[in-house]
A and B are shown apart, each in its own frame.
Chain A
Amino acid sequence: MVTLEAAGSGIALMLERDEAVVVVSLLDDMIEFLSFDNPDDAIEKRLFPNAYDDDAEAEKFTEMVGDELRSTKIRNLELMRTGIDHSGGRTILTADDAETWLRGLSDLRLALGTRLEVTEEKMARIPEEDDPEAPALGLLHWLAWLQEMMIEALTQREDGDDTTEQGNGSS
């Protein structure tokens, strides 16, 4: 079972082998997917949404920032990928690494969720065992759990910093 805990100045992420295999596969697929433009793909549309209602303005914005956005997203996933291997095990993350993981996990979840066409109702439902989408939904929830743990780890570090800097003004 995946765990996340403070380790000195860093955060130790521990993945079991079967978890690592799945995550590595997902990361490799996602990095490959992002390496090409897929303008009609629903996942691409969700990861690179229109910033303007007006189509012409939206296109200008995408031309302006699209490449940088894409390469940022790929870099996040590549950092995650270098942190783990198929056999699982322990990786130490800095706070910056953890933030990168959060962004990468968000994109992985968006891709999976978009492919599954999830709604809020579907997210809340527990799938039947013979539901062919059950494994993918399970993975979506597992990634959410990992995200929650990362946020908590980062928040605890920040709160810890705040209490050691007393009298620094109100938050």
Chain B
Amino acid sequence: MSTVAPERLKEATPNEQTEPDRPWLVIVWDDPINLMSYVTWVFQKLFNYPRAKATKLMLQVHNEGKAVVSSGPREKAEHDCFRLHAHGLWATLSKSD
């Protein structure tokens, strides 16, 4: 194994693969149409959350306008978003701070 000279280290730019992976967050946003019971059911079904957790997340969406419902690598977050859209929920993903 060789070592990299300090000058080389300074020039190297970090890329997505070497940077420690900050997880992507999947956010569900409130809307005036979907039923609270339906949103709760979707969270249980898609993420296998127990009813209490699903209800808590739904209430957070309802009362605070949004909630983080899952997180993970980008591909997983995109897949979760897709499944939420397939159930009529308004979901977005963003990188955590």
Residues on A close to B: CB < 8 A? 46-53, 61, 64-65, 68-69, 72-73, 99, 102-103, 106-107, 109-110, 113-114, 118-120, 122-123, 140, 144, 147-148, 151, 154-155, 171
Chain B residues closer than 8 Å to A147, beta-carbon distance:
35, 37-38
A52-B94, A53-B92 known; A102+B78 contact, CB < 8 A: no
- Evaluate contact between B85 and A144: CB separation under 8 angstroms: no
Residue in contact with A102 in the complex, picked from B41, B85, B94, CB distance below 8 Å: B41
- Evaluate contact between B90 and A49: CB separation under 8 angstroms: yes
Q: Can you sample 11 A-B contacts with CB below 8 Å?
A: A47-B88, A69-B85, A103-B86, A103-B87, A109-B88, A110-B31, A110-B88, A114-B33, A123-B33, A148-B37, A151-B37
Chain A residues closer than 8 Å to B51, beta-carbon distance:
171
Q: Which residue of A lies closest to B81 (CB)?
A: A51
Residues on B close to A: CB < 8 A? 31-35, 37-38, 41, 45, 50-51, 78, 81-82, 85-88, 90-94
Chain B residues closer than 8 Å to A151, beta-carbon distance:
37-38, 41
The A interface, classified by DSSP as helix, strand, loop or mixed, is helix
| Sample of 18 more A-B contacts, CB < 8 Å, known A51-B93, A106-B87, A122-B32 | A46-B31, A47-B88, A48-B85, A49-B90, A49-B91, A51-B78, A51-B91, A52-B93, A65-B85, A69-B85, A73-B86, A99-B45, A106-B38, A107-B88, A110-B33, A110-B88, A113-B33, A148-B37
